[in-house]
Chains A and B, each alone.
Chain A
């Protein structure tokens, strides 16, 4: 997921953390010296999250500075920064490591046959992470290539998530010919409605009035989060309303993605409302934490055995057939 979207859209945007569902790398940083002469700052972790380790910090601060000030106070003031950086790194790397575990589970339980798009999505997320992490390590987030790759991978990720939603809806309605037509038609209506709402939101509350391409990406991503969240919620409510039974993997995928998209929607809105660094930090951690929760939900549900359905000892065969005959009679009339 594209995190730090609003920061990305700001002129002097700041470092953001690295996890998420759509685009999982740090948001490209433009604070360095540019051709336009904008104020620039070092790579994100050099800005307020220093390089790893107190040793490096001490070097960066310089011995003279340490002599002038209270060393203990400086070290104490640095600790929260390192804590934040450690947490950011943890939330960027851990979900992707867990995605690797998820990929193995999908293979071992042969679920990739039933959920090929979701499997592709998981593999794509891992590949995207490797690519962005490598780019970050080599070029840093200030580079243009990083920004382009970040945006391109984000768009593909959004498209894949729509594919995953389509896949789980097909799985939900797999046993009913009637619902395959009726429910999917209803879902298309819901999609249309949500798209209209997304466009209206983009027009009336863009969050950033600059015409930069990354501001556009932010708006697209926020709109996509809204549509996806709405679709997943509709699926869950529709299934509950009709008394449809989910298979555990499909339910887990839907639930995880639902949690992720709803938190994403909230974080994008938070960023739009509050431009302060503290708010951005908070929303970053919220979004990346949600991604970790999402991947954990997926693993939990894909590992769990299928719930045993109700015993049919209480529904004798002739009784089921009689009910069926009665209902068919009702519907024919």
Chain B
């Protein structure tokens, strides 16, 4: 009898969970459908995203020497607190880099549809690289999230990651500066 009741309760929970999941999926679909109506490539927004990246600040946040100094001079509790804050700030930078890459991908795809074959070819390459960059930022964000959750953990793969993101931030910053000067001229 009890076993039957438990089985029934289990089925009911599963059923209601599925209903919730299904309606959540439906809500997301409707949201995406509504948002897809406004498909515009905003170049200025992309430039703004690039310009928002402060390379020096990002470099400082992910600097391993800086982290070692903090580890040696702060109490473990204080270090964890500071490390979390730094990782959180770096995460925001990485996220912004990802958004910039997304904007760049859109510009690249718009260029792909150009009637000029040269522009179209450049657009293909531009969007390809932007997609790569976007996916790389995901990896970085996950890494930084791990640091936030486990501040004492010393990640071996962090140095190449830091290098990569320093380069990414620098490039994006240069791109933004270049683009904004072009826009001002125009």
Q: What is the CB-to-nearest-CB distance from B52 to chain A, in angstroms, rounded to a whole number?
A: 17
Interface pair A265/B14, CB less than 8 Å apart: no
Interface pair A310/B22, CB less than 8 Å apart: no
Give the residue name and chain of the B residue nearest to A236 (CB): B32
Known pairs A242-B102, A269-B17, A273-B15. 8 more at Cβ < 8 A? A177-B128, A201-B18, A204-B14, A206-B11, A207-B15, A258-B25, A328-B129, A330-B129
Known: A272-B11, A317-B118. A324 touches B18 (CB 8 A): no
Interface pair B16/A320, CB less than 8 Å apart: no
Say which residue of B22, B107, B171 sits within 8 Å of A269 (CB atoms). B22
Q: Which of B84-102 contact A (CB under 8 A)?
A: 101-102
Q: Does A309 contact B (CB under 8 A)?
A: yes
Q: What is the CB-to-nearest-CB distance from B178 to chain A, in angstroms, rounded to a whole number?
A: 7
Bound CA span A68–B76, Å: 90
Q: List 28 A-B contacts (CB under 8 A).
A: A175-B127, A177-B128, A182-B131, A206-B11, A207-B15, A233-B25, A233-B28, A236-B32, A242-B105, A243-B102, A245-B109, A255-B32, A265-B18, A266-B23, A269-B22, A272-B15, A272-B18, A273-B19, A309-B41, A309-B110, A312-B111, A315-B111, A319-B179, A320-B119, A322-B175, A323-B104, A323-B126, A330-B129
Bound CA span A233–B29, Å: 7
Q: Does A314 contact B (CB under 8 A)?
A: yes
Known: A242-B102, A265-B25. A270 touches B107 (CB 8 A): no
Interface pair A242/B171, CB less than 8 Å apart: no
Which secondary structure dominates chain A's binding surface? helix
- Collect the chain A residues with CB atoms within 8 Å of residue B133's CB: 327, 330-331
6 shortest interchain CB distances as A-B pairs: A205-B14, A310-B41, A266-B22, A273-B15, A269-B18, A327-B129
Q: What is the CB-to-nearest-CB distance from A5 to chain B, in angstroms, rounded to a whole number?
A: 13
Q: What is the CB-to-nearest-CB distance from B66 to chain A, in angstroms, rounded to a whole number?
A: 22
Q: Does B3 contact A (CB under 8 A)?
A: no
- Collect the chain A residues with CB atoms within 8 Å of residue B102's CB: 241-243
Q: Does A178 contact B (CB under 8 A)?
A: yes
A-side interface residues, number (CB < 8 Å) = 58
Interface pair A263/B22, CB less than 8 Å apart: yes
Interface pair B104/A246, CB less than 8 Å apart: no
B-side interface residues, number (CB < 8 Å) = 64
Chain A residues in the interface with B (C-beta under 8 A): 175-179, 182, 201, 204-207, 226, 229-230, 233, 236-237, 240-246, 251, 255, 258-259, 262-263, 265-266, 268-270, 272-273, 307, 309-310, 312, 314-317, 319-324, 326-331, 333
- Collect the chain B residues with CB atoms within 8 Å of residue A177's CB: 128
Q: What is the CB-to-nearest-CB distance from A182 to chain B, in angstroms, rounded to a whole number?
A: 7
Bound CA span A324–B105, Å: 11
Bound CA span A97–B33, Å: 25
Q: Does B103 contact A (CB under 8 A)?
A: yes
Q: Does B78 contact A (CB under 8 A)?
A: no
Q: What is the CB-to-nearest-CB distance from B161 to chain A, in angstroms, rounded to a whole number?
A: 14
Give the residue name and chain of the A residue nearest to B133 (CB): A327
Q: Does B12 contact A (CB under 8 A)?
A: yes
Bound CA span A243–B17, Å: 31
Known: A319-B182, A322-B178, A331-B133. A312 touches B171 (CB 8 A): no
Q: Does B135 contact A (CB under 8 A)?
A: yes
- Collect the chain A residues with CB atoms within 8 Å of residue B25's CB: 229-230, 233, 258, 262, 265
Interface pair B122/A269, CB less than 8 Å apart: no
Say which residue of A262, A314, A317, A323 sits within 8 Å of B26 (CB atoms). A262
